[in-house]
Structure 1
Amino acid sequence: MTQERKRTNCHFCGYCCAFVATVDEGGRVVDLEPDPTRYPYDPQVLAGCRRWRMNLDVLDGADRVNYPLRRVGERGANQWERVSWDEAIADIAARLRALAAEHGPGTLASMIGGPHTSFWPLHRFMTLFGSPNNMGIGQICWNPRIWMDVLTFGWTVEADIRPETGCVLIWGTNPAESDNSLFWRSLLHIGKSEDTALVVIDPRFTRTARAADLWLAPRPGTDCVLALALLNVIIAEDLVDRAFVDAWCYGFDELAAHVARFTPEYAEGVCDVPAADIARAARLFAGPRGEGAYPSALVSGRGIDQVGRSVAPTHRAICCLRAVTGNVDRPGACVLAEGSDFIPEVDLELTLEHAGELSARCLNTPHTPLQCYEGYAHVAALTERLGRKLPARYLTSAHPDLVLAAMETGEPYPVRALVVEATNPLLTYADTHRVFDALMGLDLIVVLDYYLTSTASIADYVLPAAGAIERSLFQAHGGVANMAYGGPKATDPYYERKSDYEIFRLLGCALGQEESWPDETFEDAIARTLAPTGMDWDTYCLLGLCYVPPAYEKHLIPGADGAPQGFATTTGKIELASVALEELGGPRLPEPGEPRRLCSPEFVAVHEAQGWAHLTLTTGARKQPYNASMYFNNRAFREKAPYPVVEMSEATARELGIEKGDCVVVATDQGEARFMADTIRMRDGLLNADYGWWHPEWTPGAPAFGGMWESNINCLTSCSLDQGEPMIGTWSYNAIDCMIRKDDAPLSWQPGFTPEDAACGARRRED
């Protein structure tokens, strides 16, 4: 039998590593092997990965959705009929057209996830339909850092760890579990080096913390105070890069006065971190001044992206840390990214061409004055001075609280239809009970996915999405860097699956958008996207990468008048005191916010009387081999990590009378979830609950909906704006409060348990 070897990529994490696939004459992939000749260029990455071997299994898995399905019974009853693509597209288009005629184009909302998707085709479709109501997880992942970087520096920055880097500070992220990249391997090397200090800030003693020279474990939600205390030490001890600050920073005196009260001793009382450790971390990051000076790098993650009111000020304080120590656009410290030479996503999604009509329907205005079209335009006018275009759909994405309210009340206009792509919002969106009720009342739900997830089980249409190996890849980081990676598909989609691009193009053309979808295939669209770089499709497939390394010290590049161009901010300098944020109604300087309360005083009093304990909770920590709500259908993974757990220190477990392996129930005013207790090294008085657990092997739909009511931490959370970050709308997955007690009932994850065995499939909520 004739076989052919073809390049392709994995889609099971954001690194999308390169493969060589062996394809038989029938177009079936029969083997895969790592391809170190393409990005990320290191066979050790895949050698240490447990996910990539899944690609062959899931390509033709028995649980895949292979044909368009239309609901024929009650919503959630798992009654479907197979229909043709022509019939599905025509019916969906007709129903969307009718709903738009009745309620306006804002009646359509979308929810999207990743990494196994292309964002801009959905965004282009939403733009052309006329709806601004695209939802994602931007407000709790990526957006806060991007916004604060741009407001402070005029564009985004990335860590630039090199041999000369003297200190690396890892804040609120755990690369040992969140990826298996060269970055984690470089941290391991740094941890063993005498020339570079590694500082890790995390309330859990993670694998990354294990490699550190110094581990700080602050109370969740106090990161802003800690950052301001680091600034206090650096300024008080004159560890500032004076030449850089005097020449290129605006508002230093204001910042110095502002942080004066945030002494290490004050921060110790708030953060519960020894003042001496705070001072040591500050000195390590600032480094020696003068001839022995070294650059320092800082990497932050979701741990501080999900702390509600404090998220923006924490990122602003981190930006100030980089600036006052001169660690900006400097080798070995951080580098300002470049705008892309290829067509950026903002142009692919066509948002700016329709910004006026989208802005008029934007639900975010005036609730989140930065995360809206007016806020975007205000900041984008600054970045465009230096020729950089911000991504628009991410930074204007609709707040879930507002979209859910429009579904529930019809105000300010009814949202009656939803497109869901590559996400399972009944597990991954805050307040599962509210999301479920809102979605169950819609007129139309269309889901693009590989599987009949909990969310797909309540859809009107489930459209089979092509996955890894079946679809080409162009990963471009939202258009904030001059880098894209990926490659070609190895085979045409199996059965009747289609790529997301093809699905939205078909649907768009059925709604009269033909002129705006000129490229028949995604490969044609990528070729058009790459054209400005001079790279063609074949070269991109060969290299797996389109990348131009950024230059350093770009603020010194002469402008049109011959003077240094500076930074793309209102003042032309790094804004330690933010003029643009103040103009939008925000604070000039970073001020800590209060953590979200999910347990009312009445709820706490009643439950404490019943023997529950009131503690602080974090969730969302990445843990291999799973990723959010994904890969629970892998039997080998489930055998290795079979239970959803809530972690606590041994001291906390003793205080609660809980032993490792006990079943526990965790609750807030929103609802409850059940876990198995585990003990690890972490802060006392803190719980860390697993995220995204469900039973993909159970029959889809009612009553259990994949077991989503049992161990789903989002049954406890809330995305309501009332306690969210005021400029962006970030809600909280960290630094929230909860009640916990031991529970004698077994978990459905334990051997021999089935969904028929008890109330595990039933909905339970404190009303």
Structure 2
Amino acid sequence: MRTVCRMCHGGCGALVELTDGVPTGITGDPDNPTSEGYFCVKGKASLDLVSSPDRLRTPLIRTGPRGSGTFRPAGWDEALDRVADELRRSAERHGPESVVLGQGTDRNYQEWVFRLANALGTPNVVGPAHVCFYPRVMASILTYGGFTFCDYAGDPEVALLWGSNKLNTHSDGVIGVGLLRALERGTRLVVVDPRRTRTARRADLHLRLRPGTDAALALGLVHLVIANKWYDAEFVDRHTSGFDALERHVRPYDPRTVAAVTGLAPDDIETAARMYARASRACVEAGTGLSQSDNAFDTHRTIAVLTALTGNLDAPGGDVIWDPMPIEGRRGFPRTDLLPEEQAAKRIGGAVHKVLSMTGWVAPVDLQEALLHERPYRVSSMLVFGSNPMVSHENATATRAALGRLDFLAVADMFMTPSARLADVVLPASSWLERDQIVEFNSYLAARRRVTTVEGARSDEEMIIGLAQRLGVGQHFAPSVEDALDAKLSGIGLTWKQFQEVGHLPNTKRYRKYEQGGFRTRSGRVELAHRGLEAMGYDALPGFSPPPATTDELPYVMTSAHNLQFFNTEFRQLPTTSHRYREPRVTLHPRAAGRLSVVDGDPVEIYRNPGRPGVVMRAQVSDTVAPDVIVADAGWWYPDEDDVDAATRSSVNRITGGDRRDPYMGSSMLRGLPVGMRRAAQPAEAAGRADPQRPDPRPSDPQPSQPQPEGGPHGAHPGH
């Protein structure tokens, strides 16, 4: 059976082998035009989801103290009745805004979560948007009215990969195969990354900048483009506004000044600017690492400006504005019209992080403050789909305390995570192999067909329909998932059954759409200086705030990355993905290892406060990072641990916080943090319950841990 993988955001084509209706094999689909048969270790682990003995297969209701892991099995009707009753009680006592919906990485049901929230009248949906895809999405939309993707098929002369290890990672239908084919045809590569990744090793120029200084580099590139008149003068004159103000604004960001901030050589900065700006066609692939600092929005906004100045916007081989196909998808399905304006105005953090609020999302740090201090009001209930906040949200200590203040918490997941262990009700979710979905990417629509079922599990969409019916808002939802898919496809004249037979519909790519009516901004032009942001109390032009400085006690700059084996916090318990990785790793330079007297595999402790415990990881010594930079594995937890604190003891978010935030998006400093390191005592693997069949947990791969796919939604934001 032909389908589309959803183990990450890449969307590779997959072929599932069925024997008597049971999936027995899975491989990449060589006929998929995007992935061309590519299939990573996560995709190969898909069948582990179906067969895993750790899968949740019945709803659970808590019977012991919160966090004790003491539950009793329940039927689906009882569990959904309980969730609906608690949410209704919360709304009646404290208002609909006291109910929060949560979501982690998207599994194509994001618009369903928002539709439920809007129907219930709550403006509060919390998730990773602020540190994932949305700073880039909103920077693009506010600058030129749309979201862009790299046109690798258009043969860029130069591809600028910024914090993106595209040859190893993938995002929303933009597969590394496309870049690889472009490189084979002669595309030159500039990589901006603190690490020498696999992609950086293939680059014509690698800018190994200091973590947290990306915005300064972006402003420096714009400075050089303008100062050397490398911009497209005709495009700037006809299709942009604010150029003169921008020119004055970037004058201080000369190469020597930027070099001092970023740790790069001035000549390398100039070379990168020249290669990109003087290319006949060029594109920028920006990764999610750029979203994880207090400069998140301005970094992406500056990159959007750079694209426009050089004439690469919506051009062949450049950054093409996504033109969605006419289905009811990201833009229409959330039904923002159902949320009254007075309720939307109550969004937690909305008065502070106004650009994030435009998307409909709430930043976790703002929710933490609301829960802990009941400001601006009391939040009493939370329903979470596909998220593990105890590991994925910044400041794990505050997250634990905040969740403890809830009157009611329900979690839908495939496995018992540390966050699910804190819940009052746990709902067993199905995997991507067990549900029907429409795959909406920039280049095509495809059918993700259910190939099997796991008894007792339900899709998130089915749960949401059941809850909507119980909560009195069922009229806003189709009676079944298939009916909903039929309605979503009505714009292209197909039913779900018909679409399954079609399987795949390519999206026609159109260039320079602005020539027929301008850009989808208020002025119809590219907003180099954004007066709308200025009216909201922000700066009209993007800026740069220096990251916190290192000290004698905290001499290292920490960034983080997700290992290629895993997806964010997921798949730690699957044998295919975890057999080589039983403990997290931190990559450090040999010089740093010498100072600490550690070698490969030794345990080291990373801390932000020398007097308090940090997080323990295995040292991975490599010159792929600078002597004062370390790269920690992100999203780590131990599935074999029953205790929440023990399970999350190596989560890097135990030492992150929300003290510095992006003013537009609420993005927290997860990269560019000053930290200290020290030798640690030998950690007991999973509390001494090491599997004797597992290999030695010490690193066996000399390469640094790789970043995770740049995940997120497919380009549209549910608030619009």
Task: Look up the equivalent residue of 1:735 and give its one-letter code.
Answer: G
CA distance in 1, matches of 2:53, 2:89: 36
Counterpart pick for 2:458 among 469, 474, 498: 498
Structure 2: how far apart are the matches of 1:727 and 1:671?
Answer: 32
CA contact (8 A) 1:663 1:674 kept: yes
CA distances 1:413-449 after superposition (whole Å, capped 9, x unpaired): 2111111111111111111111111112321111111
Mark the CA change 1:245 to 1:86 in structure 2 (over 3 Å): closer, same or farther. same
For residues 73 and 508 of structure 1, do their structure 2 counterparts lie closer, same or farther at Cα, with a shift above 3 Å needed? same
Hey, what does 1:615 align to over in structure 2? 556
Instruction: Write the deviation string for residues 470-529 of structure 1: whole angstroms up to 9, x where unpaired.
Output: 10122336xxx58533322123x3212111111111111111112112x22222211210
Report what 2:487 is aligned to: 528
Q: 1:268: which partner in 2?
A: 259
Q: Alignment RMSD, CA only?
A: 2.3
8 A contact 1:233–1:279 mirrored in 2: yes
Deviation at 1:736, TM superposition (A): 1.3
Corresponding position of 1:684: 627
- Asked if 1:423 is matched to 2:414, the reply is no
In structure 2, what is the equivalent of residue 577 of structure 1? 529
**Contact conserved, 2:154 with 2:316, CA < 8 A, in 1?**
no
Shift of 1:353: 3.0
The residue aligned with 1:764 is none
Check whether the contact 1:471–1:489 (CA below 8 A) recurs between aligned residues: yes
The 1:97–1:115 alpha-carbon spacing in structure 2 relative to 1, beyond 3 Å, is closer
Q: Partners in 2 of 1:404 and 1:273 — Cα distance?
A: 37
Q: Where does residue 23 of structure 2 map in the other structure?
A: 29
Q: Which residue of 2 aligns with 1:15?
A: 10
- Give the match for residue 587 of structure 1: 539
CA contact (8 A) 2:169 2:176 kept: no
* Structure 1 counterpart of 2:289, from 303, 316, 319: 303
Tell me the residue number matched to 1:488. Answer: 449
Residue 376 of structure 2: aligned partner:
412
Correspondence 1:197 to 2:161 = no
Structure-2 separation of matches of 1:95 and 1:280: 60
CA contact under 8 A between 1:117 and 1:422: conserved in structure 2? no
- For the structure 1 residues 250 and 633, does the alpha-carbon distance in structure 2 shift closer, same or farther, using more than 3 Å as the test? same
- 1:348 is paired with a residue whose SS is coil
Is this contact kept in 2: 1:671–1:716, CA < 8 A?
Answer: no
* 2:410–2:426 CA contact under 8 A, matched in 1: yes
Establish whether residue 439 from structure 1 lines up as the match of residue 403 from structure 2: yes
The 3-state SS of whatever aligns with 1:298 is strand
Q: Which moved more, 1:344-353 or 1:180-189?
A: 180-189
Matched, 1:240 2:231: yes
Contact 2:585/2:619 (8 A) holds in 1: yes
**Match among 587, 597, 617 for residue 675 of structure 1:** 617
AA paired with 1:677?
Answer: A
Partner residue, 1:730: 667
Q: Is the 8 A contact 1:18 1:486 kept in 2?
A: no
Distance in 2 (CA, whole Å) between partners of 1:335 and 1:187 is 15
2:419 maps to which of 455, 458, 461 = 455
| Alpha-carbon distance in structure 1 between the residues aligned to 2:689 and 2:450 | 41
Q: Which amino acid aligns with 2:621?
A: T
Name the amino acid aligned to 1:42: E
Q: Taking structure 1 as the reference length, what is the TM-score of the superposition?
A: 0.85
Tell me: CA distance 1:370–1:115, structure 2 relative to 1, closer, same or farther (3 Å): closer
**What letter matches 1:748 in structure 2?**
E
Give how far 1:405 is off: 1.9
Aligned residue for 1:330, secondary structure, equals coil
Please tell me whether the aligned partners of residues 198 and 213 of structure 1 are also in contact (alpha carbons under 8 angstroms).
Answer: yes
Change (3 A) 1:523 1:15: farther
Q: Which amino acid aligns with 1:675?
A: M
Shift of 1:58: 2.0
Q: CA deviation at 1:339?
A: 3.9
For these two proteins, the number of residue pairs brought into alignment is: 687
Distance change (3 Å), C-alpha of 1:671 and 1:126 = farther
Counterpart check, 1:285 vs 2:276:
yes
C-alpha distance in structure 2 between counterparts of 1:476 and 1:709, whole Å: 34
Moved more, 349-358 or 64-73: 349-358
* 1:615-764 alignment runs, 5 A limit: 615-619=556-560, 621-669=561-609, 672-680=614-622, 681-698=624-641, 700=642, 704-705=643-644, 707-720=646-659, 723-748=660-685
Equivalent-residue separation in structure 2 for 1:129 and 1:163 (angstroms): 45
Shift of 1:410: 2.2
Distance 1:516 1:548, change over 3 A: same
Q: Could you tell me how far apart the structure 2 residues matched to 1:255 and 1:625 are? A: 42
For residues 595 and 124 of structure 1, do their structure 2 counterparts lie closer, same or farther at Cα, with a shift above 3 Å needed?
Answer: same
Residue of structure 1 equivalent to 2:177: 185
Asked whether the equivalents of residues 418 and 648 of structure 2 are also in contact (C-alpha less than 8 Å), the reply is no
1:14-70: CA deviation from partner (whole Å, max 9, x where unpaired): 133344445465x54344454444564622x12xx1122322232132111111111
In the alignment, which residue of structure 2 is the partner of 1:63?
Answer: 54
Asked whether the 8 Å contact 1:133–1:362 carries over to 2, the reply is yes
Q: Indicate how the Cα distance of structure 1 residues 33 and 255 shifts in structure 2: closer, same or farther if over 3 A, else same.
A: closer
- Residue 474 of structure 2 corresponds to residue 514 of structure 1: yes
SS at match of 1:299: strand
TM-superposed deviation, 1:358: 2.6
Q: What SS does the corresponding residue of 2:410 show, helix, strand or coil?
A: strand
For 1:130-169, list aligned pairs within 5 A: 130-162=121-153, 164-169=155-160
Unaligned runs of at least 5 residues, structure 2: 692-720
- Tell me, in whole angstroms, the C-alpha distance in 1 between the residues paired with 2:81 and 2:688: 46
Same amino acid, percent of matched pairs: 28
Residues 693-743 of structure 1, C-alpha deviation per residue, up to 9 Å, x if partnerless? 222133x3xxx22733421101011135xx211122111211112221112
Counting only pairs closer than 5 Å after superposition, residues 73-222 of structure 1 correspond to structure 2 as 73-116=64-107, 118-162=109-153, 164-179=155-170, 183-191=175-183, 195-222=186-213
Decide whether the 8 Å contact of 1:9 with 1:473 is kept in 2.
Answer: no
State the 4+ residue runs in structure 1 displaced beyond 4 angstroms.
Answer: 22-25, 189-193, 749-754
Q: Post-superposition shift, 1:259?
A: 1.6
Which residue identity is paired with 1:616? Answer: V
How many angstroms apart in 2 are the aligned matches of 1:95 and 1:226? Answer: 49
Higher relative contact order (CA 8 A, sep 6+): 2
1:404 is displaced (CA, Å) by: 1.6
Q: Could you tell me which amino acid in structure 1 is paired with residue 23 of structure 2?
A: V
For the 8 Å contact 2:638–2:648, the answer to whether it is kept is: no
Alignment-mate amino acid for residue 573 of structure 1 = R
* Distance (whole Å) between structure 2 residues aligned to residue 617 and residue 495 of structure 1: 43
Provide the C-alpha distance between the structure 2 equivalents of 1:41 and 1:304, rounded to a whole number of angstroms.
Answer: 25
**Equivalent position SS for 2:426:** strand
1:730-759 CA-to-partner distances (Å, cap 9, x unmatched) read 1121111222111233353698669xxxxx
Of structures 1 and 2, the larger Rg is shown by 1
Letter in 2 for 1:187: L
User: 2 CA distance for matches of 1:22 and 1:158?
Assistant: 33
Q: Aligned runs of 1:221-260 on 2, under 5 Å?
A: 221-260=212-251
Structure-2 separation of matches of 1:593 and 1:745: 39
SS at the partner of 1:177?
coil
Q: After TM superposition, give the deviation of residue 185 of structure 1 in Å.
A: 3.0
Q: 638-647 or 708-717, which moves further after superposition?
A: 638-647
Matched, 1:42 2:36: yes
Q: Which amino acid in 1 is paired with 2:9? A: G
The aligned amino acid for 2:300 is H
How far does residue 261 in structure 1 lie from its aligned partner after superposition? 1.8
CA contact (8 A) 2:42 2:577 kept: no
Paired residue secondary structure (1:178): coil
Deviates more, 1:103-112 or 1:181-190: 181-190
CA contact (8 A) 1:64 1:451 kept: yes
Question: Aligned partners of 2:166, 2:562: CA distance in 1, in Å?
Answer: 9
Cα distance between partner residues in 2 of 1:326 and 1:346: 28
- Look up the SS of the partner of 2:384 in the other structure: strand
- The answer to which of 411-420 and 339-348 deviates more is 339-348
TM-score, length basis structure 2: 0.90
